[in-house]
Amino acid sequence: MLQFWFPQIRRNTTMASGTPEVVGFFDEKTFSVQYVCVDTVSKRCAIIDPVLNYDEKSASTSTESADEIAAFVQSRGLTVDWILDTHPHADHLSAAIYLQGLFDAPRAIGEHVIDVQKLWKKIYNFGDDFKTDGHQWDRLFGDGDTFTVGELEARVMYSPGHTLASITYVIGDAAFVHDTLFQPDFGTARADFPGGDAATLYRSIQAILELPDETRLFTGHDYMPDGREPRWESTVGEQRERNPHLQNMDESAYTALRNKRDAELPLPALMLAALQINTRGGRLPTPENNGTAYLKIPVNAF
């Protein structure tokens, strides 16, 4: 059996009878978790929230994280049905375009990405050539939309609050809840980015917690409190019982807690680079006449 090793990445597998096999790939630099969700009957899968590596010091991209996903897919003989992003990420670049080139699978995101595009177009002062219609993806999902991964039924939940466009993918008994909930020993996601809102995030979390208690929840990040090993799977029941941000919290109390906590957090190191790429569907800016692509940095905007 082939063994693959890439530095700064950990992998974990979880599987149960009659449910998708979910394989998580942890990127230590951005604390991000990427997933391959597998229908073991048809050997078809979806790739969720893949990371394109970016070194901000040299402004260079690389594909180590995405290549580990690709190696896993190929070693298992899987067919990729979808390449999915849960939202336009602020802390890492999306590798969806790169993986589409390898697997010829459609890329999708939530339809409210259009609102995020409009917001960040103003922040970056993009020109008329930047279209805010979502055409950069192959499909835009709305709340309640359904699709399949192999023989598995999947549906979309609109889960805003962290961003205007955040969605949750429910595939079989697995829900990919992106940046809403973290592990039960850590809490919930921030809501202070442009377009974010703590009260809206609270309502999105409550909708996720209405899923059956045994539903497996897969988070978009893990920050390893007290130096423990990375984790990214929990259940609805575990979140209800143990998450410190959910205990005795109504919307008002949660909003106050979240806003206080967010005021103390720095911006993600890659946010200003990531959003202008991820609002393009993961594409780099068009190269200029010297063949080099350039990023814009809005000075004193935050």
Going residue by residue through the chain, which has 302 residues, state the pLDDT in tens, using 9 for 90 and above: 333 222 333 444 443 335 899 999 999 999 999 999 999 999 999 999 999 999 999 999 999 999 999 999 999 999 999 999 999 999 999 999 999 999 999 999 999 999 999 999 999 999 999 999 999 999 999 999 999 999 999 999 999 999 999 999 999 999 999 999 999 999 999 999 999 999 999 999 999 999 999 999 999 999 999 999 999 999 999 999 999 999 999 999 999 999 999 999 999 999 999 999 999 999 999 999 999 999 999 999 88
Write down the pLDDT at residue 17.
Answer: 36
48-60: pLDDT as tens digits: 999 999 999 999 9
| CA–CA dist 59, 222 (Å, integer) | 25
3-class secondary structure, 255: helix
| CA–CA dist 74, 53 (Å, integer) | 20
- 280 closest CA partner among 61, 111, 133, 92: 133
242-282: pLDDT as tens digits: 999 999 999 999 999 999 999 999 999 999 999 999 999 99
Q: What is the DSSP string of 55-80?
A: ETTTTEEE-HHHHHHHHHHHHTT-EE
Task: Kindly give the residue spans of alpha helices, DSSP state H, lying in 3-149.
Answer: 64-75, 96-103, 113-124
Tell me, yes or no, if the pTM score tops 0.95. no
Write down the pLDDT at residue 223.
Answer: 94
What values do phi and psi take at 26, rounded to 5?
Answer: -100, 125
Sheet holding 79-84, edge to edge: 9-14, 21-27, 32-39, 44-48, 79-84, 107-110, 139-141
| CA–CA dist 136, 96 (Å, integer) | 11
Tell me the CATH architecture of domain 9-275: 4-Layer Sandwich (3.60)
- Helix (H) / strand (E) containing 262: helix 251-262
Write down the pLDDT at residue 6.
Answer: 28
Write down the pLDDT at residue 16.
Answer: 37
What's the Cα-to-Cα distance from 237 to each of 21, 69, 90, rounded to whole Å? 20, 30, 29
